[in-house]
């Protein structure tokens, strides 16, 4: 996981971006929106190549207990 941007990213809206810059831009926008919608949230996306295909694991962390319980997480896994 990385840090959640403090302001909405628009770098690739106003300038040309390389594929790696565009990927970072998309993730930063996703994390910013997560944090705006869910309290104390963050997320991660992990890609793993296997003989069966490409596995993706998307994890969203959030804390809606106002600090009284550990952060919750939702994990989605898919193979393509």
**Backbone φ, ψ for residue 37 (5° rounding):** -95, -30
Between 39 and 34, where is the model more confident? 34
Q: What is the pLDDT of residue 55?
A: 95
Which pLDDT score, from 0 to 100, does residue 46 have?
93
pLDDT one-digit tens code per residue, 42-76 = 899 999 998 989 999 999 988 877 777 777 888 99
pLDDT at site 77: 92
pTM: 0.72
Mean pLDDT of the chain: 85
């Amino acid at each position: 996981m990385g840090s959640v941007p403090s302001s909405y990213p628009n770098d690739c809206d106003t300038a040309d971006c390389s594929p790696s810059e565009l990927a970072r831009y998309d993730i930063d926008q996703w994390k910013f929106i997560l944090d705006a919608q869910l309290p104390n949230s963050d997320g991660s996306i992990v890609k793993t190549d296997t003989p069966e295909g490409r596995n993706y694991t998307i994890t969203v962390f959030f804390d809606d207990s106002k600090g009284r319980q550990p952060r919750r997480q939702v994990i989605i896994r898919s193979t393509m």
